[in-house]
Amino acid sequence: MPTAPPSHQLRLAVGKDGGPEIFRSFQGEGPVAGQVRAFIRLSGCNLHCRWCDTPYTWNWQGTDYEHVDGEKFAPAQEMLRLPVEEAAASVLALAAPGVVITGGEPLMQPKALEAFCQQTKSGQPDYRLEVETNGTLKPSQTLEQLVDLFVVSPKLPHAGHEEDVAAPALANHRGNPRAVFKFVAKTPGDVETVRRLTGGIETNRIWIMPEGRSPAELDRHLTTITPAVLDAGFNLTDRQHIRLFGDTRST
């Protein structure tokens, strides 16, 4: 008897109820902010940003990554494996017009991600697939065709990387009309850096977002960057979910 092929498994982050981090919310950032979406958060990231708001997806015990919180996490407690079919069923049960696949870095699991996208789109081609990515890992052609929107967030020097990780991220996605760029900024100088890095990319594909995990931090950074964003002609986005729900998992 032939056996069914093993299904792909996704490594997921753990949500506030201790189960896989799959939830329903408003998209809080970027071009579709304010729209209802299902969210699924994949565990693992290949960048280790100092101010990351989801260090529980990568800042494992025994590593020497530097993060502002200083807290280390145990992968056995923070990572769950789920067959793609189960993950897709949980996401579709949330009754949203589409899903935001985020992380961590979702493209670290390319085969399972592709299977998840095929599964959620099958039978309902209008269901929207949106991926939040740091851009450093190039998606396959299959994935590029399946995904409706890549929100690519190249990292600037204030994220604490020794190498320039923004240029490859821009190179990987600038040719895809379904990719937009979302830069986290703290100062007018950061906006100037974005202007320099993104020469030749239409400004209407670029969003600037204040860094912050509290309304006060967001307000402070918004106040300092807004004139520079307007001057450069970039789009501006807030982080609505932080104002609505605070810095909590599964929101």
Which residues contribute to the annotated binding site for Mg(2+)? Answer: 54
Q: What 8-state DSSP symbol labels residue 104? A: S
Q: Which stretch binds ligand 2KA (CB under 6 A): 24-32, 43-51, 105-113, 214-222?
A: 24-32
* 29 vs 78, beta carbon nearer ligand 2KA: 29
CA–CA gap between residue 176 and residue 249 (Å, rounded): 31
Using CB under 6 A, which of 155, 173, 186, 241 touches ligand 2KA? 241
The listed partner (Mg ion, ligand SF4, ligand 2KA, none) that binds 25, CB under 5 to 8 Å by sort, is ligand 2KA
Q: What 8-state DSSP symbol labels residue 175? A: T
Binding residues for [4Fe-4S] cluster: 45, 49, 52
Cα 121–104–67 angle (5° rounding)?
165
Using CB under 6 A, which of 9, 24, 26, 238 touches ligand 2KA? 26
Span 74-103, contacts to ligand 2KA by CB under 6 A: 100, 102
Candidates 250, 2, 33; CA nearest to 149 is: 33
Candidates 31, 47, 27, 28; CA nearest to 180 is: 31
Span 130-169, contacts to ligand 2KA by CB under 6 A: 132
Q: Which two tokens stand for residue 74?
A: 């145990």
- φ/ψ of residue 169, rounded to 5: -65, -40
Binding residues: 26-28, 41, 45, 49, 51-54, 102, 104, 153-155
Binding site for Mg ion (CB under 5 A): 53
